[in-house]
């Protein structure tokens, strides 16, 4: 099984395209049918919608990320990639949205909860786009992130779902250099409450300690800079390639 991950970036204000993206990615079954016909077995959509608007967002300076789309494919990855790219282009028209994507290797340190098809998970799903600093080679960067940082992130935050996607290769033309895309699920209260985000139970000293530990850890592999952090809502579907 191959996992593909796409970011939908919007050159203009992403909020103006949210109704379009919601219609395409969540409400219209046509995209899911086309993906199933292309050999996809599952679809996940992370949409930066109104439910998570109060949460903190960080931008690297590139066009804002309005959605992340994950597709699991049993067949030809190129066919599924074409479906996503063309569907976004058709829906957005000349409004400046485009999908770029990569083949990724997935790790799940904390398995996210299962929800019925098309149902919003009751969570703030933060999507972080990571870029490896030039002064770290690939092996050292991965070790500092995947081995050293992972237990720190789990220990110091109130996450109940944690998915790490290591980029292997681009699957769309013009996909920028991205090293990984991470998804972390938090209680909805974490959108506006740091204690809920870090799981510090209202203790200010504990909150300060957890924040300090996290900052020290992310700085070791460059996730304290050149980062996109996108608050999203999470939706999943199981697809039937045989049935379309």
**pLDDT > 70 in the chain, percent:** 98
Q: Is 38 domain-assigned?
A: yes
> Domain for residue 138, yes or no?
yes
Asked whether the beta carbons of 54 and 192 are under 8 A apart, the reply is yes
Specify if 243 maps to a domain.
no
Whether residue 244 lies inside any domain: the answer is no
Is the model's pLDDT at 15 over the cut of 80?
A: no
Whether 170 shows a pLDDT value over 60: the answer reads yes
* 222 — pLDDT class (breaks 50, 70, 90): very high
26-52 pLDDT tens trace:
999 999 999 999 999 999 999 999 999
Does residue 121 lie in a domain region? yes
Give the model's pLDDT for residue 241.
83
Q: Would you say residue 175 lies in a domain?
A: yes
Average predicted confidence (pLDDT) for the chain: 94
Domain that holds residue 74: 2-238
* Residue 69, pLDDT above cutoff 60: yes
Average pLDDT in the 56-76 region?
91
Q: What is the reported pLDDT for 35?
A: 96
Q: What is the CATH number of the domain that holds 224?
A: 3.30.70
Share of residues in the chain with pLDDT > 90 (%): 84
Please indicate, yes or no, if residue 85 is contained in any of the structural domains. yes
Q: What's the rounded mean pLDDT across residues 190-207? A: 98
Confidence bin at 14 (pLDDT 50/70/90): low
Total domain count for the chain? 1
pTM of this structure: 0.94
Mean pLDDT of 73-86: 94
Sorting pLDDT into bands at 50, 70 and 90, what band is 73?
very high
């Amino acid at each position: 099984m191959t996992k593909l991950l796409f970011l939908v970036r919007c050159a203009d204000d992403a909020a103006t395209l949210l109704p379009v993206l919601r219609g395409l990615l969540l409400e219209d079954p046509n995209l899911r049918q086309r993906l199933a016909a292309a050999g996809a077995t599952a679809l996940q959509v992370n949409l930066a919608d109104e439910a998570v608007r109060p949460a903190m967002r960080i931008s690297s300076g590139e066009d804002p990320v309005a959605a992340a789309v994950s597709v699991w494919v049993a067949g030809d990855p190129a066919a599924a990639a074409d479906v996503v790219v063309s569907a976004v282009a058709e829906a957005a028209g000349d409004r400046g949205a485009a999908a770029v994507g990569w083949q990724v290797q997935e790790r799940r340190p904390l398995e996210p909860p299962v929800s019925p098809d098309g149902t919003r998970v009751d969570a703030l799903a933060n999507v972080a786009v990571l870029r490896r600093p030039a002064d770290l080679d690939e092996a050292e960067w991965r070790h500092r992130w995947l081995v050293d940082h992972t237990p720190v992130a789990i220990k110091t935050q109130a996450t109940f779902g944690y998915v790490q996607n290591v980029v292997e290769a681009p699957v769309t033309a013009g996909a920028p250099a991205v090293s990984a895309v991470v998804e972390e699920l938090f209680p909805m209260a974490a959108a506006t409450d740091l204690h809920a985000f870090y799981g510090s139970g209202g203790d200010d000293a504990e909150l300060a300690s957890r924040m300090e530990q996290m900052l020290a850890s992310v700085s070791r592999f460059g996730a304290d800079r050149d980062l996109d952090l996108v608050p999203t809502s999470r939706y999943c579907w199981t697809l039937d390639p045989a049935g379309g």
